[in-house]
Amino acid sequence: MSDRAMQEPTLLLLTALADEPRHGYAIAREVEKISDGRVKLRTGTLYGALERLLGQGLIEVHEEEVVDSRLRRTYTLTPAGREGLGAEAKRIAATAREATRRLGVTGEATGGVTGRATA
């Protein structure tokens, strides 16, 4: 993995595969769920991204089966994908903590940001 921040689609795809292997349609639904409906991956975008992640060694084909005369691939994270996702989650958490600190937010407030006033 590089030291660069992951692009959001990559982060969402890897997160969708973090708890269990999934096939393409299930990955797309999981990304939509994780993003609270904000991100809806089109078929071409999804499979292009999966091919890129396969090429980068972040995911692998878990199994292939024929369903309704079509090949269905199920994908899973590789150890490198799991490591990269973990590092990105830590980076995002650290950034969020710093943003919260600088805003002067106390407790678990996340909705209406309150804290110290600045002039």
Does any domain span residue 72? yes
Domains in the chain: how many in total? 1
Does any domain span residue 61? yes
68: Cα within 13 Å, side-chain hemisphere = 0
Confidence band (pLDDT; 50, 70, 90) for 116?
A: low
22, 16 Cβ separation under 8 angstroms: yes
Does any domain span residue 36? yes
> Residue 71: phi, psi to the nearest 5?
-75, 125
Beta bridge partner(s), residue 71: 66
Does any domain span residue 51? yes
The 10s digit of each residue's pLDDT in 59-76 is 999 999 998 899 899 999
Does any domain span residue 111? no
Does any domain span residue 1? no
Q: Which residues contact 22 (CB under 8 A, 6 or more apart)?
A: 16, 30, 74, 75
Give the per-residue pLDDT at 108.
58
Q: What is the mean pLDDT of residues 89-98?
A: 95
**Global model pTM greater than 0.75:** yes
CATH number, domain at 95?
1.10.10.10
